[in-house]
Amino acid sequence: MTWFARLFGLIHPRLAVVLHDLLMVWLAWIGTNRLRISMAPDLREVPWFSSEVLIVLVAQGLVLWWTGLYRGLWRFASLPDLWNIARAAVVGALAISLGLFLFSRLDGVPRSVLLMYPVALILLLGLPRMAYRFWKDSRHGDGGNVPRMRVLVIGAGHAGEALVRDLKRENRYRFVGFVDDSRTLRGARLHGIPVLGVIERIPELAREVAADMLLIAIPSANNQQMQRVVELCEQTGLSFRTVPRLQDVVDGRSRFNELKPVAIEDLLGREPVSLDWTTIRTGISGRRVLVTGGGGSIGSELCRQIARLGAASMVVLETSEYNLYRIEQELRAEFPELLLDMRLGDAGDAATCDALMRERRPEMIFHAAAFKHVPLLELQLREATRNNVLATRTLALAAIRYDVECFALISTDKAVNPANVMGASKRVAEMICQSLAARSSNTRFITVRFGNVLDSAGSVVPLFREQIQRGGPVTVTHPEVTRYFMTIPEASQLILQAVALGEGGEVFALDMGEPVKISYLAEQMIRLAGRQPGREVKIAYTGLRPGEKLFEELFHPQEAYGNTAHPKIMLARARSVASETLDGILNQAQQAVAAYDETALEQCLRTLVPEFDRESVAVPLLGARGGAA
């Protein structure tokens, strides 16, 4: 093989392949003719070079080019390439027949040659390609004296097979077996690697094959399946890695063959959400968009998604200078063609809102700016009301004045039966949008309500990660506290889908799946860090913090709710308040904010949200800091 590679290296690789294939065409035609003559000596002998041979080379060469055979690389020759060769050989035989018929009425051409020729050509074109790939793979698989990590692969489906095929070239791993629950694969071999047994036998099989690492290659696994696989991997005491989720690969956040540690998102994530991207893109593409709170967790992801969907321009309003700088750098690097206007300012500042509306004329507003940290806001009633309630009103009124087509409020499940200032303030913000939707004929007001997002700023996941790195303890507020969780990209995409569905005035609630115990979350994060919960890293229970509940709700008992066109988005028919009453109380709240009168502010919130009950929540000792998002 070495002399063959050197010879081809002297000329352009693509030209070398073309010359090789024409040589094989010539050999196939002459060879089949000579074979036919040997069986019937009375036939005329075909000369090595003639007009007939020239017609064969031209006809077959054009067909080979037409089939796209030269767009592939011999290094990665596979079954699709062989199928392409077979197709080219059959079509080429037909083209040769036509050419020779026009040239000589097929005079002296045995009909059996036209049948034998495609078979010979398939062998002469396919075997060198397969041999070259085998030689290349064997060279890359020759690790010499370099020790390679023994890897047991969990999952022998398409993902596992493709991943092993790809990673074998890197000469870092020695794959010792597959485990898979499929009965049809028992006893089978993939790339020469045996399928050893079912997933439940992972601990036993890992010992038998002396594995150094486990590789989870099941990107479509749901959270229950992934949790079970991880539990079995943890029993082995070996390190384990996984492949990115399919949605991350599709969105361009990861490469398929990128091995990564199992993250908490892999255990709590849910099946990929199917979205109507055509409708979403139609609603966003070519539009002028304003995102408030664009430097936050949800706001920044909304910016990314909106930019990918082809918005004509985007204004990002943010109070944090650093967050604004960070998202600007990312957006300008990834979407250089997008017209960006990065504004440092407050959505509650009427002058700022008017200036943005007048200068940029946004057609869509995504209002993600809000204070959200529950315990902090219990002691910051004025700021919570000013930012979450009055700023929403200021921006929404500006949207009506400047005929903005759509105003989307990002709300929270804590607005249902609120037991804290944060939830009550967001519920009043929802009421504002409901009220204005009934009064505005040009602006659609949409509210989207959902629970916690994994790894968002100030949430429980980064807190636990920091505590685990310090060696513990990991602080959880209560053994039974549960929360709904969703990944940041999933939440943002469903927000966009809800906006596409909404006609105005709706309160949408995202299907958050099953609630997760925070204690389970803490245990899994400790295990994923390679430590044992309770022994190496303690879990300490600190008691519920101000404003926290044991569980969250997506709907109030008095809220009727129904389905929408999307299975993951539900419609809450939230209770409304008379516009005159709402406006009067909001005016009182504005005066109380100006006078820094928190007693009056609390009374305003209680009037608008009668279920708001701060006294029913236990208050822990000062200084206690626990994780319950």
pLDDT digits (tens, 9 = 90+) for 282-306: 899 999 999 999 999 899 999 999 9
Residue 246 has a pLDDT of 54
562 in any annotated domain: yes
Please say which residue of 78, 111, 140 terminates a domain: 140
Q: What residue has token string 């294939």?
A: 21
Q: Which of 262, 287, 310 finishes a domain?
A: 262
Residue 237 has what pLDDT? 80
- Sequence-distant (≥ 6) Cβ neighbours of residue 191 within 8 angstroms: 161, 164, 165, 168, 175
pLDDT digits (tens, 9 = 90+) for 121-138: 888 887 887 777 666 655
Whether residue 268 lies inside any domain: the answer is: no
Q: Check the CA dihedral 165-166-170-176 and report its sign.
A: negative
**Quick one: tokens of 105?**
């009425």
Backbone φ, ψ for residue 366 (5° rounding): -110, 110
Residues 359 and 234 in one domain: no
CATH of the domain at 284: 3.40.50.720
pLDDT at 380: 92
CA nearest to 576, candidates 449, 427, 396, 448: 427
pLDDT of residue 195: 84
Q: Is the pLDDT of residue 9 over 50?
A: no
Residue 267 lies in a domain: no
User: HEC string of 357-423?
Assistant: HHHHCCCEEEECCCCCCHHHHHCCHHHHHHHHHHHHHHHHHHHHHCCCCEEEEEEEHHHCCCCCHHH
Query: Do 11 and 132 sit in the same domain of this protein?
Result: yes
- 187 and 327 fall within a common domain: no
The rounded distance, in Å, linking the Cα atoms of 299 and 370 is 10
- Does residue 191 sit in the same domain as residue 294? no
For residue 618, being part of any structural domain is answered with: no
Find the mean pLDDT for residues 442-446.
93
DSSP letter at 586?
H
| Same domain, yes or no: 118 and 156 | no
Query: Domain limits at 238?
Result: 149-262
Same domain, yes or no, for 122 and 155? no
> What are the contacts of 97-105 at 24+ separation with CB within 8 A?
98/59, 99/55, 99/56, 99/58, 99/59, 100/52, 100/55, 100/56, 103/51, 103/52, 103/55, 104/52
Could you give the CA distance from residue 410 to residue 450 in angstroms, rounded to a whole number? 8
Residue 296 lies in a domain: yes
Number of domains within the chain: 3
Verify that 368 and 333 share a domain, yes or no: yes
- For residues 422 and 373, the answer to whether their CB atoms sit within 8 Å is yes
Q: What percent of the chain has pLDDT over 70?
A: 78
Specify if 231 maps to a domain.
Answer: yes
Residues 236 and 321 in one domain: no
Res 317 pLDDT > 90: yes
| Predicted TM-score (pTM) above 0.75 | no
Please indicate, yes or no, whether residues 244 and 287 belong to a single structural domain of this protein. Answer: no
Confirm whether 622 is domain-assigned. no
Q: What is the pLDDT of residue 459?
A: 65
- Whether 330 is covered by a domain: the verdict is yes
pLDDT reading at 1 higher than 50: no
- Span 75-100, pLDDT tens digits: 555 666 777 788 888 888 888 888 87
